[in-house]
Amino acid sequence: MLDVGLMSFDAESAVQLMRTFFIEGTNGSGSQELIWKDGVWQHLLHHGIDLYREISCALGSEVTADQYLEAVRESGSTLDSSALAELFADLRCIPFRVEVLPRCKFLHFGTTRQLISSGCALIAADRGEVGACDLVLNSAVKVNVVASDCWIEGCSLSSEVSLGGLNALIGLDVTKPLALRRGACLDVSSGSGRNGESILFLRVCDIDDSFKQSLAGGGSFCGRPMQAWLDAVGIVWADVWPQDVSVSQRTLWNARVFPAIVDQSEYYDWLWLLDPEAATESQKRRFVEADRYSCAEIALRLDQDEFYRRRAKLNSSNSSG
């Protein structure tokens, strides 16, 4: 058996999970809504709460408080014992059962490359076709796209697109010709800046960049060693990581290398990030002076409602066309 699977929660269990983490409150307009419990929200921001660790380890009628504490500590939890005790008390009443499937196939979506390869595997299983494929989801496509083994999601393509292969395009409005080398990936997402202003986050990377590998451990950015990328732009680690981030923790996940933009068309001006050796001095200065964010920050500042609204709108327009 593989130690992987699907989590399925019935209504009663889902409600108990919500009660564990939320309370009823009032938003700015006076309407009732669910809001994070103060303590839990702080735990989430500073320590993280993991489905497979703090939550799953508490499930099951035979688990004791001591066993729960030992299991989550061994898995790396940094929550204090009193916080873990509160979680255990709320979660232990949820029934937990395991059912072994008679047969299954495992497709991994953990990396950008696997997003494409696993998506193509699903298409192959559905259509009985094996080979290169393009995955276009919730997008409005008005032009021919030259691509091979690519993932295109939430995009409006009204001008020529030429992709070298193994590319991921997310949330883009392509209004003039766009050509990307093999493995180049772009993501534009709506959210709020540090002062509460509405902005767009631009993320660029290579298909095989790891967001977990550290700078000292040989982590990469835009398809080249992260240190080589910094050297090409003419900056040092202090320009992208806070002083209190230790050497072993300087990863692409918490590196402030993704610029905020105001208008969709601006992402064309930042394509040089994929090829920093060819950047002009003016472009390099603009990067240093730019309002930049890390993926860790972006994850908290994204406008998830707009994420789904855009995709639904594009999917509807494409279907009607």
How confident is the model at residue 107, as a pLDDT?
A: 83
State the pLDDT at residue 2.
63
**Which of 158, 161, 151 shows the shortest CA–CA distance to 187?**
151
Other beta carbons less than 10 A from residue 116's beta carbon: 23
pTM of the model: 0.74
Please state, as a whole number, how many other Cβ atoms lie within 10 Å of the Cβ of residue 97.
7
- The residue extents of the domains of the chain are 11-91, 112-320
> What's the pLDDT tens digit per position in 206-265?
999 999 999 999 999 999 999 999 999 999 999 999 998 999 999 999 999 999 999 999
Q: Are 215 and 198 in contact (CB under 8 A)?
A: no
pLDDT score of 48 = 87
Query: What stretches of 268-320 adopt beta strand conformation (E)?
Result: 292-293
Residues 6+ apart with CB under 8 A from 274: 180, 181, 184, 204, 206, 222, 223
How many residues are listed for the chain in this entry?
321
- What is the 8-class DSSP label of residue 193? -
Yes or no: say if 298 and 191 are a contact pair by the CB < 8 Å rule.
Answer: yes
DSSP characters over 121-141: HHHHHHH---S--EEEES-EE
Q: What is the pLDDT of residue 3?
A: 64
Residue 42: CB partners within 8 Å, gap ≥ 6? Answer: none
CA-nearest of 291, 289, 266, 286 to 276 is: 286
What does the pLDDT read at residue 108?
84
Write out pLDDT tens, residues 74-105.
999 999 999 999 999 999 989 898 888 887 77
Does 313 have pLDDT greater than 80? yes
- Could you read off the pLDDT of 118-134 as tens digits, one per residue? 988 888 888 877 666 88
Phi-psi region of 316 (alpha: psi -120 to 50; beta: other; left: phi over 0): alpha
pLDDT of res. 321: 43
State the pLDDT at residue 320. Answer: 46
Mean pLDDT of 298-310: 93
Nearest C-alpha neighbor of 166 from the set 228, 114, 88, 235: 114
